[in-house]
Amino acid sequence: MAAAASRGGVAERIAQSLRATIVKGRLKPGDALPSERDLAQTWSVNRSSVREALTRLETWGLVRIRHGGATRVSDFVRSAGLELLPHLVAPGGRVDPAILADLHEIRGMLFGWCAERAAERADEDAVGRLEAIVARMESPGARRTTLQELDYDFFQTLVGVTGNRVLALLANVVRDVYLRGRERFLPMYGRDVFDASHHRRAVQAIRRRDARAAGEAMRAHAATALRTVEDRS
């Protein structure tokens, strides 16, 4: 059992290294990976560990294994799942502005839709929770890290009000992306960028059952994040 665990750890390290190489674009769709023998020599491991690593890459949608032929890189935009997103945002630790812009755009769509549904479905208790979050956002001494966490809490509360379980799973992925490298997203919460009045307007609209106004307020909030990406470009 110890040997199997050790082999699994080696396979995971190999898989992660190859994943980073693919995500960074050093290997393009259709490119062949080195042979199992060459990879085993490079990593000073046996071929079973390499084979396990390649299987993980295929599970992630990054490669296609052909028995008796070369293992080739897949077009992961077409084949990979959402679990790749955290690794795609900042390959090698450097944020990809294009991917970040895509992420913020999707975030804005989700924020707007959730606010619209909340206006239709929120009960008094849910509205009270949202108002309490906004009140903390409006505190003059609130730090950027605090605003960041409150913004996540606000979004998660909206998602919960919708009752959509698939959206809840998607929201978990988005949250994971932001929390893994939260310092990368702090510019969204600077004094000259973050404006809690968007959240205040959204809650007021939700309370009066105005779905359109609630959605517009949250999309306006999300647009501020897109501006921080544009400023970096």
Topology of domain 2-75 in CATH is Arc Repressor Mutant, subunit A (1.10.10)
What lies within 8 Å, CB to CB, of 94 at 6+ separation is: none
Q: Please tell me the CATH code under which domain 86-232 is placed.
A: 1.20.120.530
Segment 110-133 mean pLDDT: 96
- CATH 1.20.120.530 maps onto the chain at 86-232
Task: Assign 94 a pLDDT band (cuts: 50, 70, 90).
Answer: low
Measured between alpha carbons, how far apart are the two ends of the chain, in Å?
A: 50
- CATH 1.10.10.10 maps onto the chain at 2-75
Report d(CA 47, CA 202) in Å as an integer: 57
- Is pLDDT at 176 greater than 90 in this prediction? no
Question: Token pair 């190859």 is at which residue?
Answer: 18
Q: What's the whole-model pTM score?
A: 0.73
Angle, CA 176 vertex, CA 54 and CA 117 arms, to 5°? 125
Q: What is the pLDDT of residue 24?
A: 82
- The residue with greater pLDDT, 142 or 84, is 142
Report d(CA 15, CA 30) in Å as an integer: 18
Q: What is the mean pLDDT of the chain?
A: 86
Q: What is the pLDDT of residue 229?
A: 60
Q: Helix, strand, or coil here: 149?
A: helix
Which of 90-99, 156-165, 167-176: highest mean pLDDT? 156-165
- Is pLDDT at 194 greater than 70 in this prediction? yes
Task: Assign 112 a pLDDT band (cuts: 50, 70, 90).
Answer: very high
Contact between residue 112 and residue 215 where contact means Cβ atoms under 8 Å apart: yes
Q: Which two tokens stand for residue 58?
A: 């295929």
- Is pLDDT at 122 greater than 50 in this prediction? yes
